Chain A
Amino acid sequence: MASTEEIRSGLADIVNEVAGIPADDVQLDKSFTDDLDVDSLSMVEVVVAAEEQFGVKIPDDEVKNLKTVGDAVAYIENAQSA
Chain B
Amino acid sequence: MSSTRVVVTGLGATSPVGGDAPTTWSALLDGTSGARVLDDDWARDLPARIAAPVAVEPTEVLERVKARRLDRSGQFALVAALEAWADSGLADSGVDPERLGTAIASGIGGVTTLLSNYDKLRDKGPRLVSPLAIPMLMPNSPAANVGLALGAQAGIHTPVSACASGNEAIAQGIDMIRLGRADVVVVGGTEAAIHPLPMAAFANMQALSRRNDDPTKASRPWDVDRDGFLLGEGAAVLVIESAEHAKSRGARVYAEIAGAGITADSHDIAQPDPEGKGATRAMQMALAVSGLEPRDVVHINAHATSTPQGDVAECLAITHALRDEIDQVVTTSTKSMTGHLLGAAGALESMATVLALHHRVVPPTINVDNLDSAVKLDIATEQRSLPDGDIAALNNSFGFGGHNVAIAYRSA
Task: Give residues in A with beta carbon < 8 Å to B.
Answer: 18-20, 41, 44-45, 48, 51
Distance to closest chain B CB from A76 (angstroms): 16
Contact of B131 among A19, A20, A45, A51 (CB under 8 A): A45
Q: Tell me whether A19 and B65 are in contact (CB under 8 A).
A: yes
- Is B132 close to A, CB under 8 A? yes
Within the assembled complex, what's the spacing in Å between the Cα atoms of A51 and B128? 10
Interface residues on B, range: 10 to 19
Contact sample, A vs B, 16 pairs, CB 8 Å cutoff: A18-B65, A18-B68, A19-B65, A20-B63, A20-B64, A20-B65, A41-B131, A41-B132, A41-B135, A44-B131, A45-B130, A45-B131, A45-B132, A48-B127, A48-B128, A51-B127
| CB interface residues, B 28-55, toward A, < 8 Å | none
| CB interface residues, B 62-102, toward A, < 8 Å | 63-65, 68
| Further 14 A-B residue pairs, CB within 8 A, beyond A20-B63, A45-B132 | A18-B65, A18-B68, A19-B65, A20-B64, A20-B65, A41-B131, A41-B132, A41-B135, A44-B131, A45-B130, A45-B131, A48-B127, A48-B128, A51-B127
Within the assembled complex, what's the spacing in Å between the Cα atoms of A41 and B135? 10
Within the assembled complex, what's the spacing in Å between the Cα atoms of A44 and B128? 10
| Residue ID in chain A nearest B65 by CB atoms | A20
A44 to chain B: which residues have CB within 8 Å? 131
| Residue ID in chain B nearest A44 by CB atoms | B131
B131 to chain A: which residues have CB within 8 Å? 41, 44-45
Interface string of B126-161 (1 = CB under 8 A from A): 011011100100000000000000000000000000
Within the assembled complex, what's the spacing in Å between the Cα atoms of A78 and B131? 26
B65 to chain A: which residues have CB within 8 Å? 18-20
Within the assembled complex, what's the spacing in Å between the Cα atoms of A48 and B127? 7
Within the assembled complex, what's the spacing in Å between the Cα atoms of A19 and B127? 19
Distance to closest chain B CB from A47 (angstroms): 10
| Residue ID in chain B nearest A52 by CB atoms | B128
Distance to closest chain B CB from A23 (angstroms): 13
A19 to chain B: which residues have CB within 8 Å? 65
A51 to chain B: which residues have CB within 8 Å? 127
Within the assembled complex, what's the spacing in Å between the Cα atoms of A20 and B131? 17
Q: Which of B64, B127, B130 has the most CB of A within 10 A?
A: B127
Within the assembled complex, what's the spacing in Å between the Cα atoms of A45 and B120? 14
Distance to closest chain A CB from B126 (angstroms): 11
Within the assembled complex, what's the spacing in Å between the Cα atoms of A38 and B128? 19
| CB interface residues, B 362-386, toward A, < 8 Å | none
Within the assembled complex, what's the spacing in Å between the Cα atoms of A18 and B65? 7
Within the assembled complex, what's the spacing in Å between the Cα atoms of A41 and B63? 18
B68 to chain A: which residues have CB within 8 Å? 18
Per CB-CB distance, the 10 closest pairs between chain A and chain B, nearest first, are A20-B65, A44-B131, A41-B131, A41-B132, A48-B127, A19-B65, A45-B131, A20-B64, A48-B128, A45-B130
A41 to chain B: which residues have CB within 8 Å? 131-132, 135
Interface string of B280-310 (1 = CB under 8 A from A): 0000000000000000000000000000000
B132 to chain A: which residues have CB within 8 Å? 41, 45
| Residue ID in chain B nearest A45 by CB atoms | B131
Distance to closest chain A CB from B137 (angstroms): 14
